[in-house]
Structure 1
Amino acid sequence: MSSSKMTIGNNLLRRLKSLGIDIIFGVPGDYNLPFLDQIEDFGGIQWGNNCNELNASYTADGYARIRGIGALVTTFGVGELSAINGIAGSYAEMVSVVHIVGTPPTTSQISGAILHHTLGNGDFQVFANMYKEVTIAQANLTKENAVEEIDRVLTQCLLKGRPVYIGLAVDLSGYEVNLDSSSIKPLNLSLVRNPKNEHQAALENVLDLVKKAERMIVIVDACAVRHDIMNKVLKFIEHTQLPVYVTHMAKGGIDEDHPQFRGVFAGNCSTEQVQEEVSDADLIL
């Protein structure tokens, strides 16, 4: 028999597990301890304890590059600031990382209390505002919005291929919300379809260029890797037998022993042979 109640913390963990996450990295801190207890008790997800928050952010980044999405937990202020450089790197390189930050009690935030890990000015959003520059979506969970905001932010994380920020107050991870586990639907990760007429026009234009080309090549960049379409890319180049190059951020996306692999293209920093071949192409896909 399904339950009609679920804690905010367990709902977040359930969503992360459904996306394939089985390890959450991070560092304990007084504002995230109740959530860490929930991780320890949650079946199917391990706690990957790190020496410091910067290490945790890089570990989550590496995990996400292999698994598609990663997650870390830090505490408010000092913890999240220690991790921000790694999160900024994930943003720059289009890696889906979920950063969960344990924040002070909701009552303390509302009253503007002077607490440790703060700047002593009653502003509890100052660090979250910093993260707006290096995350694609942010959420400060409340009793009322937690269920919807968790789904919104995680959806953006995967669709946009960028890190996201979730603030989880220390007194909310164990708060029960009305949520029937049997009625929970998977996240809607379908892409918005292109307008039919514009899509067809673009295809016709590309095909027209392909028919006229005599020296056509393919350059694969990081977006193909991050959005998990490399199987389609490989099928395409093997069907067309076109020479293929990768950008430096997509290095490793194509096996360098592949018979059609020609090298890494990085503009003027490429090898002389790669520069000449790319320059001689009359169509680059």
Structure 2
Amino acid sequence: MPLVPPPSIGRLIIPHLRYTLEINTLARSELVGPGGSFDQAVVTGNGGIQEILLRGMNDMTYTSLCLPDDIESRGVQSIPNYFYKEDGMKIWKAMESYISNIVHYYYLTDETVSKDPELQVWVAEIFDKGFLSNKSSGIPSTIGNRVELTKYLTMIMFTCSAQHAAVNSGQFDFYSWLPNGPTTMRKPPPASKGSVTYQNIMEALPAVNTTAIAIAAVDLLSTEPSDRTTGKLHKCLFCRGDARKFVEEFRGKLVEISKSIKERNQDKKLKYNYLDPDLIESSVSI
């Protein structure tokens, strides 16, 4: 577990780490542990999780964790009606502006960042223990100035809230119709086009009991959150002068983003609301 960050930074990210250790512990035992949901209903079972995690860690980069960089690296900047990109960038920029204000409020110069021993040890331990000192990932092992610190903290805040909502909250909407993504198959996929019958499909899809376990899992994971990222958990963390003003500005921007998403969705048959700030959980807690 990484060392506790400096107090000012700790207050900034506290809302985005609430219950995360608890849910990860439960996931290890109830979801991916021996006899858990993956053993009962997912083709990888418990034994395949280690290989999936290893591949994921090898592919993870700092670029992939920072939304603007990720959008650019995938070449999807100009795709129209890409609501994940559009809504996500609005939230990223709101978080980035808020964090920059807080960082510049508590760190008056770049030198105060580079020479903050608690901050540097915290970042170094995350690099070492969290990312296994993989230099090719681009994950920072030190933070040299306020701009770098702002980006790093924005990555943490966005990943723990908005990014998690984007990949987690729609699971039931998509997977409750199991043919969209069967967790396992009883027969191999067809080898030629046009040869599949309804009977072939039914024989290949998971059995009823396996389907029920899978749907129950995604229903739980998609449960409407109790913690929001609209800044309400930040309100009592910064109570002095400009810092309090920065919180209110952040909350106001998220309200505006939520309003624009709701207005856009009014005339959409298929609504994209997973990045509506009113529906984003502050932390990875489910």
Which range, TM-score by smaller chain?
Answer: under 0.3
What's the TM-score, normalizing by structure 1?
A: 0.23
Larger % of helix: which? 2
What's the TM-score, normalizing by structure 2?
A: 0.23
Bigger Cα Rg? 1
The structure, 1 or 2, with the larger RCO (C-alpha pairs under 8 Å, 6+ apart) is 2
Larger % of strand: which? 1
